[in-house]
Amino acid sequence: MEKLIGRNLNISIFISGRGSNLLSLIKHSKIKNSKIKINLIISNNKFSKGLEFAKKNKIKYHIIDYSKKKQAENKILGYLRKNEIDLICLAGFMKILSSDFIKKFKNPILNIHPSLLPKYKGLNTHRRAIENKDKFSGATVHLVTPKLDSGKIILQKKIKISKIDTEKTLAKKVLKIEHKLYPAAIEKFLKSLVFKEKV
Ligand code: GAR
C-alpha cells in the first residue's frame, strides 16, 4: 500500500443492479474536498440500473460477461491495470471474487454488506435478522479477503429493528444508512493510507 500514499487515488466501483450506493458515492465525490474519485465502473449485468448513473455522469464503464468466471476476472484485471485503479469498492456486486483475482489485483478492495458483520455473512441478511428476532441490524464496510465477508471492518453503523419491521422495511432502513456509511468509510480508509494510520 506504500505506493498509494501522496497522490490522488483512482477508484473503481463494481455493481450488479440498482446502483443506489454507486449513486451516493458519485454524489459524495462531487462534494468539495472529497477524496473520492471514481474512474471506472464495472458491472456484470448489462441491465444494471447503476449503469445509467455512469452514463449520466460520464464515468467510464465496462459490462462484463460472467458466464466464464476466470475469463471475466482476467478481463476486469486488464481494465483495472489500464485505468491504473488503486482501490476497488464493491457496491452491491453480487459475484464472489476469486482469491486469485484478489491476489493479482494487489491493491485494497472494500465491500459494503447489509448486516452487522460478523453476523449474517452471505445472502438474505434482513430475512435472517427478522427471523431471529434481532433487536438491531445495520451495515458494515470491510476489506475484502478470500474468505467471504470476513475482512477487517472499516466502519459499521447500527440501527434498531422495530417490532413491525419486515424484511422489506428493514432493507429500506439499512440501505438508507449505507448511503452515508460507504462514503464515510472510504474517506476514512483513504485518510488512513495517507497518514499510515491503522484502520
Ligand atoms: C446493498 O444493500 C448492499 O449492501 C448489498 O446489496 C445492496 C445493493 O444495493 N450488498 C450485498 O448484499 C453484498 N453481499 P444498490 O445496488 O442499490 O447499491
- The alpha carbon of 184 and the centre of ligand 1 are apart by a number of angstroms equal to 16
- 189, 199 Cβ separation under 8 angstroms: yes
Average model confidence (pLDDT) across the chain: 95
- The terminus-to-terminus CA distance of the chain in angstroms comes to 13
Give the pLDDT of residue 141: 98
Report the distance separating Cα 199 and Cα 185, nearest Å: 10
Give the pLDDT of residue 7: 63
Residue nearest to atom 16 of ligand 1 (CA): 19
Give the pLDDT of residue 193: 85
Q: Residue 52: how many CA atoms within 13 Å on its side-chain side? A: 7
42 closest CA partner among 22, 70, 56, 61: 61
Give the pLDDT of residue 13: 98
Report the distance separating Cα 23 and Cα 171, nearest Å: 17
Structural domain of 73: 2-198
Pairing of strands 38-43, 109-113: unpaired
Number of domains in the chain: 1
Domain with 184 in it: what CATH number? Answer: 3.40.50.170
- Give catalytic status of residue 113 as yes or no: yes
Low-confidence stretches of the chain (pLDDT < 50) are: none
- The alpha carbon of 164 and the centre of ligand 1 are apart by a number of angstroms equal to 23
